[in-house]
Amino acid sequence: MKQLIFIVLAGTIIVGCNAQPPQNKSNSMENNNIKKNVHYSKTDTNVVKVKEEEWKQLLSPEVYHIAREKGTERPWTSKFEDFKEIGTYHCAVCGNALFKSNTKFDSGCGWPSFFDPIAKGSLIYLPDNTHGMRRTEVQCGRCKSHLGHVFEDGPPPTGLRYCINGVVLDFDKSKE
């Protein structure tokens, strides 16, 4: 009897380990009650003005927390930290072009770092005196989402280090 129970349990475990995970579509935007972000565009350069309640419905909780509540992702967790592809980084909230990959560098700080924005108007700079520090916050120039901070300890030619939360970045690989 014990052998029979063992065989049944072992078979159940083996079948369970080899089974394909259920096709759960709860990660899709529609099934998470997150609407399609109609404000996202990689070509529209008009300033986006959206009420916070709408952003909360449009964005994932993680993106909303960092972009709209000025959160910070944990260091060394971004898929873009060691990313080496050639292309353009965009705001994940609105699609605004932010940085070219040839301005990205390994700063060792734990977040994707860049030394020069793609254009003067692509970013907004604001003083940030939170946490007992004097820093400069960087926001998206199109939707005013929090991206990270800029520091004056970067490489030439600018001497700047844009320390950006990867969760608020999208990437378009260059076709060249």
Task: Decide if 26 contacts 32 (C-beta within 8 A).
Answer: yes
Based on the residue annotation, tell me whether 163 is a catalytic residue of this protein.
yes
CB within 8 A of 114, min separation 6: which ones? Answer: 89, 98, 99, 103, 104, 105, 161, 162, 164
Tokens of 152: 């004056």
Q: Point out the catalytic residue in the list 94, 140, 143, 163.
A: 163
CA-closest candidate to residue 100, choices 116, 111, 84: 116
Q: Output the 3-class SS for 49-97.
A: CCCHHHHHHHCCHHHHHHHHHCCCCCCCCCCCCCCCCCEEEEECCCCCE
Active site residues: 163
